[in-house]
Each structure stands twice: as structure tokens, then as C-alpha cells.
Amino acid sequence: MFRTHTCGELRLSDVNTEVILSGWVAGSRDFGSLTFVDLRDRYGITQLAFNEEINKELLLQARELGREYVIQVKGKVAERSNKNTKIPTGDIEIIANEIKVLNVSKIPPFTIEENTDGGEDLRMQYRYLDLRRESVRKKLELRHRVAQFTREYLSKNGFLEVETPVLIKSTPEGARDFVVPSRMNEGEFYALPQSPQTFKQLLMVAGFDKYFQIVKCFRDEDLRADRQPEFTQIDCEMSFVEREDVLQTFEGLVKHLFKEEKGLEITQIPRMSYADAMYNYGSDKPDIRFGMTFHYLDDIAKGKGFGIFDNSQSIIAICAKGAANYTRKQIDELTDYVKRPQIGAKGLIWCRYAEDGLKSSVDKFFSTTDLQKWAEKCSAQVGDLILVLSGDTTATQKQMNELRLYLGTQLGLRDNSVYSPLWVIDFPLLEWDEEAQRFFAMHHPFTSPNPEDISKLDSNPASVNANAYDLVINGVEVGGGSVRIFDKSLQSKMFKILGFTPDEAQKQFGFLMNAFEYGAPPHAGIAFGFDRLCSLFGGSDSIRDYIAFPKNNKGRDMMIDAPSTISQEQLNELSLSITITDKK
Amino acid sequence: MFRTHTCGELRLSDVNTEVILSGWVAGSRDFGSLTFVDLRDRYGITQLAFNEEINKELLLQARELGREYVIQVKGKVAERSNKNTKIPTGDIEIIANEIKVLNVSKIPPFTIEENTDGGEDLRMQYRYLDLRRESVRKKLELRHRVAQFTREYLSKNGFLEVETPVLIKSTPEGARDFVVPSRMNEGEFYALPQSPQTFKQLLMVAGFDKYFQIVKCFRDEDLRADRQPEFTQIDCEMSFVEREDVLQTFEGLVKHLFKEEKGLEITQIPRMSYADAMYNYGSDKPDIRFGMTFHYLDDIAKGKGFGIFDNSQSIIAICAKGAANYTRKQIDELTDYVKRPQIGAKGLIWCRYAEDGLKSSVDKFFSTTDLQKWAEKCSAQVGDLILVLSGDTTATQKQMNELRLYLGTQLGLRDNSVYSPLWVIDFPLLEWDEEAQRFFAMHHPFTSPNPEDISKLDSNPASVNANAYDLVINGVEVGGGSVRIFDKSLQSKMFKILGFTPDEAQKQFGFLMNAFEYGAPPHAGIAFGFDRLCSLFGGSDSIRDYIAFPKNNKGRDMMIDAPSTISQEQLNELSLSITITDKK
């Protein structure tokens, strides 16, 4: 037997018990006749005490233990004279009477501590050592719990977890597929799923009624920070439901997860239309932990001789409460922020509401009375700072969204321990692509229009809203879904609007369209980004930390050094050859 | 709202309730002024009644409903005059007052009934219709439950579910990998995991202590019946454990699953050495639901002038209880069975223990006294039939194993509702491959030798037993695992015995061996074939039935028609070209 207890469970009530522990040497402190060793395992740290007076030979042995050695120790639990209140085992220590080195360790390339000296690349290369750090392990423990809570809730609510295949068929629509050459079907390829979308819809046709899966999905995209080529979704679908049923069901899931994982009671998740989100926050995923919504000054700020405003499509203001004391330097810094190429504003107008009245960067054009109207419009009071951007409406909304979030962070309004979930609904069904000169589905081609908008599909497709919904938490899109089209003629119309010929539609989605001819029920679904959800629960911005073995921005696993070359024999078996050329 | 109730939940206590149901038309019976429609969903079937006297127009509408139409019906629950005791809703029917056709259906290519007229290929092509059949759906419901019970048990026992990557690195050892070309790393490939073996061992190095995952694995093998290119494993690993800890933990899992899913209490799972299994059953996965173990007659049947026995390495008998009344024809049929090329016996000797004494097919060589000794050896009694095969020991054991199983089935000794789990232990560590003239790891290269055998690794590697274990249920290998090597020098020795140069070992397993230099704990694990486990719980031999969207023997998904060709543009992006040639 390697252990009677873990390194996290002994307490004062165990004093005088003979125990065996196993774990890693996390560190030691040598005081001459006395040496202390911290023994670590997944469950905690327990102090081992070695005393010259009790056992000199053992003390010498203990001094030889290197960091990260794996040892087994026998001894008796004793009360500590110098208690450590920071750890649950801090009241006790083990008076060791035997040590066995189970394995030695080289000196780790970085320290296994909270504030490690290892850089990102080094920690990824030695991920198995990085994972020994408590904070990293705790993130994956959270992931484990959230997965189990999710399954628990969905199972209890009648959902069946069904595994859909990983080796499927490539479809050109959407992001780029990873493909898998088939040896047995020469010259043919499987594709890895970007999502189980079609399979879950087929399960609805099959009468499965309620489906879920926590499932790996794959996208061969150029990776930005925090995008992974393989990622995990909580994927769900239901039959005989309308939007309201879906929102209620998954509002229940969100509440369950917050309660179980965070101990938080979420009452009701508010809803906001896409149009309102864009108008008031300049974003389809507004962070509603704080206000600072947009105010449109067009009526009151145009025609005063300030050319920039006069030539703008929209003049948008936000009111930063209590920020009237911002220094010139601070405001300049905000101006520099919005002028960065990624944001692209030309400048930033400000108006302070100080004790001694209103003062703005455009006093030359606007009288105190004018500025008073701005203040009224923005509900600004003494002590507040009004910030204004103008220009093309859409661009200005986006710029103002960035400024709002930046200021929100600066003013401490975006506390990671506060959670404000939100349903965003009534998205446009279609997006016009200037380059391709055609509509694309904003969600995907199976998304149903809002029932009241179906009649506008022919006359004014751009005005049609989708029966779709996103779950946004703290400004992060955590999930999204839609009511699906289950009627073949409506589906055909959609394909036509999206510019598919019937042949193309048949080739790409034929098996789904054929299935829809055999009694497809009304159905709807949703998928949540599981990596993202976990990082949100963990209060972190990085999804990579919540993945046990993540890949870097080039899609490489630094630890196992994948991808890698394969043998000529493997290529021959797959009827493939590599043609490295200059690519366009 | 599409429904107030499902088609499986209404009972006599609901009589007079106004309800809305939605579902598929499973069938209808037209009696002129009265028409009954069976409405089906995942939860059951409810009878809808249409009566000319009540609503003639609705009756006419009901008559127009085709099979598999999706409808919504409003009506009142009524007690049936003619109750159906075979279904839970059989006491009631719905007196319909409104029908809405939600979707029509073409006539399905086969009947959606238990005894369908659809052949295997047709049902696979229309898998979404096959899945509407109750028996097929119930198999996937079972799979859902077994997955949740598994997670429940393992989570409760401190295991963390950790997702390991799907895009990993190809290693030539073992079965053939599926590979995935990397666009961003030109000329390089990922591989899909055959199992998460190395990752779970790295998680142990990382101190995760107890890991599990229900995970897809991939093998590009030539498919035999009931092999799938993608399959699912319950994959587990533990640290600071010996074999006994692992067997106890997973015996607990097996008991939990049998109790929750089958309502069966499994007491203790017996253990049998590989040597005993081969000696007594001729198989490393004996079906111990019945006896009929092997008896070796060498001592008593040699030297009696029967050349076939005299020239045999082993003479093996089994005793079929109560089979003395087998006719000549029945025995001939058994003889034909063992002489089939797949089994390869040259003939079958029999000896009947009838009321009037012993009678055999070799009476010319063996006296009654001789046969009496056979009977004693086999504990045969009046009424029994002794069957004897002889030849090379290993071959004869294998042949007799086949005969024993065949007879066991014939005599009704292999009841699918009886479950006899068994641990098979002490496997040989190595297998000698004549062709390659080297040892292969019987399990995998990380399997530890039995502690007491380590000293024999140099002197007599073939005699070394592995610290490995298989879980066998009813003659089916359901799981297997081993205590791992965690010591670098022992691992190096193993690689040497397996014929790897240090360079090759470093290239293939380098990242694991490197990890082992940083304090690898003692660890051990096991993996269960989840598809197989589900089919066993379902009392079926086919794993395909327990997979929602299986592939056929050529690795094709008949429904979505995958694999398929991809575009030249995709090939270009991947720097690949297809070279279809005559392959060796």
C-alpha cells in the first residue's frame, strides 16, 4: 500500500495516528538539527518533520531529497507548535520514521509554484509540470465539475447524451475542415466535424426529442490568440419546442451551473434584441455588468458649426460617472486608445461636468447651454465625464463599444466575481457580403426566420430577423443557437437566397434535406463553448488555461511536438504525396 | 406550445384532461365511422380516436394522415373501452377535436416496426428512420445511462474527467493511425489517438492522481465484422496504487453498473491466471457462465495403439453433461464444426456414458476399463458425453475452446441474462513474433513486469509475467490494463528487449520518457471498450447497434456517404496530391 491518507486530509483529530503518505517533495527547510519537508499531492500539502534527536540517519536522508522527488513516508501525526493557518493541514505535521524514494527527479525547468519563473513556451513544453501547479490543476478540476453538473442537469431534464461521429464528410460551407485521408477508400477523405450540427438535427428527425453531447469540434482556421484548432462544445437540440422553451430550458442550465459551481443564485436572465444591443452598446455581446450606455447627440450637437459633427452620420456619447476628475493626461491616454489602428477613431471629444460647471474640448463651438443639453441627454451630473465619438454610425458604435469596455475596466466596473448573463435575440437572418455579392447566413443555413418575418423573405430579405439567440455573459458570447427550419420548401428558399443552386444544396446538404422528407419535427437547439464557459467560471480571460493539453498559435502541441512528418510508407498507403510549393 | 404531455405519460388518472400531443403517425385503423391513429414519440404511443358522430370533418382529416406524418393534436383524455395491456398508455385514448399537420412524410423505405422489412444496408442508409424503431432507440438510451452511471461512480471516487487532445502525433508502434494533414505546418500531419495512453500517463506525472475519460479512439485497421474505425473507451488511470487497488476500484465500477443498469448484485469477481485460463478453457477470455472445463487425458489415453493420440502433444477432453443422447447426426455436426477451416481440427473423438455403459468412436483401441478412466478423469456420469480433441497443445486448446463455446450455446448454458465477470491476470509480458524475429509487448511497452519476475527479464524474458489484467464478462474481453513502468531504467530495458534502439525509443516515446525524469509516481490504469460494454448490458453481440451512426465494414458512413472526394483547392492548401497507383 502506497498511502493510508492523502496529503490533504490529516487534521488535529488524527494526532497520534500512524500514517503512510506518498507525494512529491514541494520544498524543504533545513534548520540544522531539524528539517521540514513539504509533501504535495493533488489533495494538498502536508509537512514532514525530521529531528536529529529522534532519528539522525533519517534526517540526513531527508536532507538529500531533491525538489519533485517522489517519496513515500511513514510516520505519526503530531500537533505542530508553529501552526500554518493558510493550509487545511496546517495544524499538524508528520513525525517521520521511514522514507522511501519512489522516484528521483531532475531539477525542473521552472519552479512549481504559483508565481513560477517559467515563460509560456517553457510551461507548454513541460505541460505535465505546469499542471502540477495548484492554480492550473484547480482550473481543470473546475472543468471536471462543470462538465458533471451540465450532464446532471441535462440528464435530469430528459436529454440523452448521444455520441455523433468524428469521421464525417467535408462540406465547403463555413470554416475550413480538417480532413482525414481514407486508406480503404482511395483518394477520398473524411472530415472532422466543425460541430455535430447536421447529426443533431438528424437525431431530431429520428425522434430522439432531446439530445446533448459534450463534444470535441475542429476548425482549421488561422489561429488568433485564444483560438484552438480543437475545442469543446456543450451541444444540445430539442424537438417540439419554440424559442421560449429553449430559452427556459437553458436558462435553467445556466442557473444550475452558477448555483452548483459558484454558489450564486441567478434570478432571471434579461433579454435584449440585437438592434437594441447595437444601438445602446455598439456590440452584439454587451457587457451589462455596468451601464454607460450610448446617447445619440445628433439632434442637439449638429448645426453648431463644428464640421466634424456636422458631417457625421451619428454622434455618440457615453457618460463616465465620477470621472470628471480625469486629468488631461488620462484623457489623452483615452484618446490614444481610440485612435489605435485596431479601433480607428479620428479623435475623442470630452466634456467635464465639474463643480464649477461644464467644460469641453469643443468650447469654441458649443455654449454652456449647448453642453447643458448634452448633460441632460446623457443624464450626467456634477462629477461625471462625457465622452463623444462621431462618424459613420456602425463604425462609431464599434469604436464607442471599445471605449466603453476600456473605461469600464479602468473604473473597476467589470468585477470578475460579478456575473451578468443576457440573452441577445432577434438577430438579422442574413449578412450581405460585398465581396461575394451575396447573402451569407449570419448563424447557419438551417436557422429559421422569425415566424412574423417569413413573408418578407422574398421582398426584403435583409430586413428579416432570425429566430436565433445568443447567451452572453459579461460581454462574452458563451453560447448560441436557433429555431431550425424543418419545412423543406422554406429550406429550399433559404438555399436560394444564399446563392446555392439546387444541385449545390443537394450535394452539400442532401442527406439532411432528404431526411427532412420523412417527417422532420419542429426543433431548435443551442451550443455552448465549453472552454470559454469554464474560463468564465474561473474568472479568467484565457481559455488555454482550461485545456489540459492546449496547442499554441501555430496549432502545435509543444509538448509532444505535433504535428510531425510521417513515413513514406504511410503516405503510400494513403495514396498521397506531398507537394510543397509556393502557395498563393 | 407544441404539447402539454408526451405520448408516453397519460394514464387513467388523466381522464377528462384537455391535452395537446405532438408526434409521428405510427399507424392507423379505419373502421368506417371510427378511426384510430397511433401517435408515437420517444416516450411511447398514445391512441387518438376520431368518431364520425362527434366530428365528421376531423375524421376525414384523420383518414388522410400518412405514416410518419408529424402532427399536433388537441383533445380530451378518455377511458378506452378496449384496453391494451401491452403499453403503459393502453387504458386511455384521446378524443381528438383538432389536428394540425406539422410536417408530411414520404413513404419510408422500410417499416418503422420491431420486425422491420428493411435490410441492414437500407437501414444504415436511412439510419435516422432506423433510430425511430423502439428497440434501436432503447439501445442508445441504455448507452446514455451507462455513460452517466460510469461518470457518477468515478466522480464520486475522486476521478477527474480530463479531455486529452484528438490531434496528436503519429507513432508507428501498434495499429495504423489515421492522420490529419496540417495546413499551417506544411508537409506535417497530426494523428488521431488510438487511445489516450501517453496522455493519461502524463497526467499521472502531473499529479492528477485519478483520471478518467469516456473518449473516442481511432484505428485504421482492415475492418472485420463489428470493428469500427472510431470507437469509444472508458479510459482510466490512478497513481500510488498497486494491482490490488486497481482491481478493487474497478470491481466497484462493474458492480455499480450492474446494480444501476441491470438491478443485479455482483458479489466478488473471481480471478484466474492467464495460464489457468489457457489450460482449463483454451482461451484468455473464458466464458465462466458454465463449466465444461478441459481434462487432459495424456496419461491414460496414450500407448494404447491409437496413433493419433500417441503422436499428439496433448489429448484434451470436455464432458457435456446430459448429452449422451446426442444422435449420430448431432455428433457428426459437431465434428463438421470443429473441422471447419477457421477451427482446423482433424476430427473429433466421442465417448457416450449411456445407461448400458460406455461407448466410444474409438472402441477398437480402448477397452471399457480404459474408457472408465476417461470418465473418472472427466467426472462424467451416466447421461454425459465426452468429446476429445488432440494434437499440438496450443492449437488443440484453441479448437477445444471453440467446441466448448459452441456446445455451451447448443446446450443453453450461455444465457444472456446471466453475467459472469472474471479478472484474468498474470499475462505473459512478451510475445515472440516468428516473422519479425523479435518480442512484441503483449499489452503495450509501458506495462510493468510482475515485481517478482523483474530479475528474469535478462535471463528468460519469455517467462516473465506482466502486471496486467483483463476484465472478461461472459467470454468477452470488456477491459484491460496494467501497472505501468514508472522507472526510467526499467523502461529503457523494456525498449531494448522490444528491439528499439535508444534513438527509435527517443523518437517515438521521447516526450513520455523525458516526463518520467521529473518524478513519475507509481501508476496503473485500465480501459474498457464502451461500445462492447453497452452491447453486453443490452444482451446483444453487435456493437454496431449501440452506436448512433456506425460505419460499415468498409469504413463508410452510408447515410452521409463519407468519406468523399475533396476539392483541388483543399488539396492545394494542404500541399497534397493524390497518387492512385497499384499498391503492393
CATH number at residue B88: 2.40.50.140
As given in the structure block, the three cell numbers for residue A501 are 443552386
Closest C-alpha to A234, from A212, A256, A205, A251: A212
Q: For residues A490 and A448, is the Cβ–Cβ distance under 8 A?
A: yes
Q: What is the mean pLDDT of residues A316-326?
A: 97
As given in the structure block, the three cell numbers for residue A172 are 465547403
Residues of B in contact with A576 (CB under 8 A): 576-579
Contacts of B220 (CB under 8 A, 6+ apart): A183, B175, B176, B177, B178, B229
Interface membership of B557 toward A (CB under 8 Å): yes
Q: With an 8 Å Cβ cutoff, are B218 and A166 in contact?
A: yes
Residues of A in contact with B521 (CB under 8 A): 22, 24, 70, 102-103
Residues B145, B262 within the same domain: yes
Determine phi and psi for B280, rounding to 5 degrees: -95, -20
Confidence of residue B505 (pLDDT cuts 50, 70, 90): confident
Closest C-alpha to A110, from A93, A127, A91, A96: A127
Q: What is the mean pLDDT of residues A219-248?
A: 92
CB-nearest partner of A181 from B179, B229, B573: B179
Nearest residue in B to A245, CA atom = B1
Residues B390, B428 within the same domain: no
CB-nearest partner of A577 from B208, B563, B577: B577
Average pLDDT, chain A: 94
Residue A355 pLDDT > 90: yes
Confidence of residue B582 (pLDDT cuts 50, 70, 90): low
Interface membership of B144 toward A (CB under 8 Å): yes
ipTM of the complex: 0.94
Residue A158 lies in a domain: yes
Neighbours of B27 (CB within 10 A): 15
Q: What is the pLDDT of residues A358-405, one digit of tens each?
A: 999 999 999 999 999 999 999 999 999 999 999 999 999 999 999 999
DSSP state of B36: E
Residue B313 lies in a domain: yes
Nearest residue in A to B103, CA atom = A519
DSSP state of A511: H
Residue B155 pLDDT > 60: yes
Overall number of domains in chain B: 3
Q: How far apart are CA A41 and CA B207, in angstroms?
A: 6
Residue A226 pLDDT > 80: no
CB-nearest partner of A519 from B24, B165, B202: B24
Residues A199, A303 within the same domain: no
Residues A386, A405 within the same domain: yes
Domain ends where: B410, B430, B459? B410
Residue B211 pLDDT > 80: yes
Type of residue at A272:
M
Q: For residues B388 and B315, is the Cβ–Cβ distance under 8 A?
A: yes
For B366-371, the CB contacts below 8 A with 24+ separation are B366/B301, B366/B304, B366/B306, B370/B300, B370/B301, B370/B304
Interface membership of B275 toward A (CB under 8 Å): no
Determine phi and psi for A439, rounding to 5 degrees: -80, 145
Q: What is the mean pLDDT of residues B150-167?
A: 98
Question: Picking from A96-110, A299-313, B110-124, which range would have the lowest pLDDT averaged per residue?
Answer: B110-124
Residue A563, preceding peptide bond in cis (omega within 30° of 0): yes
Q: How far apart are CA A324 and CA A386, in angstroms?
A: 8
As given in the structure block, the three cell numbers for residue A198 are 447536421
Find the helix or strand (DSSP H, E) in which B399 lies. Answer: helix B393-410
Q: For residues B204 and B515, is the Cβ–Cβ distance under 8 A?
A: no
Q: With an 8 Å Cβ cutoff, are B105 and A566 in contact?
A: no
Q: With an 8 Å Cβ cutoff, are B191 and A70 in contact?
A: no
Residue scoring higher pLDDT (B510 or A520): A520
* Interface list for B 475-514 with A (CB within 8 A): 486-487, 511
Residues A361, A463 within the same domain: no
Find the helix or strand (DSSP H, E) in which B309 lies. Answer: helix B307-310
**Residue A51, Cβ density class (10 Å: 0-12 exposed, 13-18 middle, ≥19 buried):** middle
Type of residue at A410:
Q
Q: With an 8 Å Cβ cutoff, are B169 and A581 in contact?
A: no
Residue B54 lies in a domain: yes
Closest C-alpha to A165, from B132, B231, B164: B231
Cell 416516450 found at: B43
Q: With an 8 Å Cβ cutoff, are A549 and B164 in contact?
A: yes
At residue B583, the pLDDT reads 47
Domain of B267 in residue numbering reads as: 137-272+421-547
| Count of all residues that appear for chain A in the document | 584
At residue A439, the pLDDT reads 87
Q: What is the mean pLDDT of residues A509-515?
A: 85
Q: With an 8 Å Cβ cutoff, are B163 and A548 in contact?
A: yes
Query: B202 CA to chain A: closest CA distance, Å?
Result: 6
Residues A434, A538 within the same domain: yes
Over B88-120, what HEC string results?
CCCCEEEEEEEEEEEECECCCCCCCCCCCCCCH
Q: What is the pLDDT of residues A180-208, one digit of tens each?
A: 999 999 899 999 999 999 999 999 999 99
Contacts of A225 (CB under 8 A, 6+ apart): A553
Average pLDDT, chain B: 94
Q: For residues B12 and B91, is the Cβ–Cβ distance under 8 A?
A: yes
Q: How far apart are CA B237 and CA B149, in angstroms?
A: 18
At residue B138, the pLDDT reads 97
Q: With an 8 Å Cβ cutoff, are B166 and A166 in contact?
A: yes
User: Residue A207: helix, strand or coil by DSSP?
Assistant: coil
Question: Reduced to 3 DSSP states, what percent helix, strand and coil does chain B have, rounded to the nearest 5?
Answer: 30, 25, 40
- Give the percent of chain A with pLDDT over 90: 83
CB-nearest partner of B519 from A103, A240, A548: A103
Name the β-bridge partners of B518.
Answer: A105
Q: With an 8 Å Cβ cutoff, are B151 and A155 in contact?
A: no
Nearest residue in B to A575, CA atom = B579
Separation of first and last alpha carbons in chain A:
62
Q: How far apart are CA A565 and CA A468, in angstroms?
A: 43
Helix axes B134-156 and B243-257, enclosed angle (nearest 10): 140
Residues of A in contact with B185 (CB under 8 A): 554-556, 563
Neighbours of A513 (CB within 10 A): 17
Domain ends where: B103, B118, B149? B103
Neighbours of A284 (CB within 10 A): 18
CATH number for the domain that contains residue B315: 3.30.1360.30
Cell 473546475 found at: A142
Q: How far apart are CA A160 and CA B148, in angstroms?
A: 10
At residue A359, the pLDDT reads 96
Q: With an 8 Å Cβ cutoff, are A40 and B207 in contact?
A: yes
Q: What is the pLDDT of residues A478-492, one digit of tens each?
A: 999 999 999 888 988
Query: A156 CA to chain B: closest CA distance, Å?
Result: 11
Confidence of residue A584 (pLDDT cuts 50, 70, 90): very low
Confidence of residue B225 (pLDDT cuts 50, 70, 90): low
Neighbours of B12 (CB within 10 A): 12
Residue B62 lies in a domain: yes
Neighbours of B436 (CB within 10 A): 9
* Interface list for A 8-47 with B (CB within 8 A): 22, 24, 40-43
Residue A103 pLDDT > 90: yes
Neighbours of A376 (CB within 10 A): 11
Q: Which pTM was predicted?
A: 0.95
Q: For residues B560 and B127, is the Cβ–Cβ distance under 8 A?
A: no
Type of residue at B23:
G
Residues of B in contact with A218 (CB under 8 A): 166-167
Domain ends where: B103, B120, B153? B103
Q: What is the mean pLDDT of residues B539-558?
A: 92
Residues A240, A176 within the same domain: yes
Q: With an 8 Å Cβ cutoff, are A179 and B566 in contact?
A: yes
User: Residue B478: helix, strand or coil by DSSP?
Assistant: strand
CB-nearest partner of B189 from A148, A522, A563: A563
Interface membership of A74 toward B (CB under 8 Å): no
Residues A530, A434 within the same domain: yes
As given in the structure block, the three cell numbers for residue B36 are 384510430
At residue A215, the pLDDT reads 98
Q: Which of A240, A448, A488, A508 to mutate to test the interface with B (most CBs of B within 10 A)?
A: A240
Q: With an 8 Å Cβ cutoff, are A105 and B518 in contact?
A: yes
Q: What is the mean pLDDT of residues B68-83?
A: 96
At residue A175, the pLDDT reads 82
In total, the C-beta contacts within 8 angstroms joining chain A to chain B are 358
Nearest residue in A to B220, CA atom = A183
Q: With an 8 Å Cβ cutoff, are A129 and B206 in contact?
A: yes
Residues of B in contact with A554 (CB under 8 A): 184-185
At residue B197, the pLDDT reads 93
DSSP string for residues in B164-187 = PPSSB---SSSSPPPEEE-SSSTT
Name the β-bridge partners of B316.
Answer: B296, B389
Closest C-alpha to A211, from A222, A199, A193, A219: A199
Residues of B in contact with A165 (CB under 8 A): 230, 549, 551, 557
Q: Which of B37, B39, B148, B167 to mutate to test the interface with A (most CBs of A within 10 A)?
A: B167
Residue B529 lies in a domain: yes
Query: A489 CA to chain B: closest CA distance, Å?
Result: 11
* Residue A226 Cα distances to A118, A178, A535, A546, B261, angstroms: 19, 19, 11, 11, 41
At residue A581, the pLDDT reads 61
Residues A179, A213 within the same domain: yes
The per-residue b/e assignment along A314-340, b for 16 or more CB within 10 angstroms, e otherwise, is bbbbbbbbebbebeeeebeebbebbee
Q: How far apart are CA B226 and CA A490, in angstroms?
A: 40
Residues A86, A156 within the same domain: no
Contacts of B497 (CB under 8 A, 6+ apart): B430, B439, B457, B461
CATH number for the domain that contains residue A207: 3.30.930.10
Nearest residue in B to A22, CA atom = B240
Residues A443, A529 within the same domain: yes
Q: What is the pLDDT of residues A435-461, one digit of tens each?
A: 888 888 888 888 999 999 998 998 999
Q: With an 8 Å Cβ cutoff, are A563 and B185 in contact?
A: yes
Residue A364 lies in a domain: yes
Closest C-alpha to B289, from B443, B476, B460, B90: B476
Residue A229 lies in a domain: yes
CB-nearest partner of B128 from A40, A165, A206: A206
Residues B398, B434 within the same domain: no
CB-nearest partner of B170 from A41, A162, A564: A564
As given in the structure block, the three cell numbers for residue A494 are 433559404
Q: For residues B353 and B386, is the Cβ–Cβ distance under 8 A?
A: yes
Confidence of residue B581 (pLDDT cuts 50, 70, 90): low
Q: What is the mean pLDDT of residues B451-460?
A: 90
Rounded to whole angstroms, the maximal C-alpha distance in chain B is: 94
Q: How far apart are CA A504 and CA A509, in angstroms?
A: 8
At residue A151, the pLDDT reads 98
CB-nearest partner of B105 from A105, A179, A519: A519
Q: How far apart are CA B486 and CA B522, in angstroms?
A: 6
Contacts of B454 (CB under 8 A, 6+ apart): B464, B490
Contacts of A370 (CB under 8 A, 6+ apart): A300, A301, A304
Residue A577 lies in a domain: no
| Count of all residues that appear for chain B in the document | 584
Residue B584 pLDDT > 50: no
CB-nearest partner of B208 from A42, A205, A240: A42
Q: What is the mean pLDDT of residues B46-67?
A: 95
Residue A418 pLDDT > 80: yes
Q: Do β-strands A230-239 and A523-529 pair in parallel, antiparallel, or remain unpaired? A: antiparallel
* Residue A141 Cα distances to A87, B153, B385, angstroms: 18, 16, 60
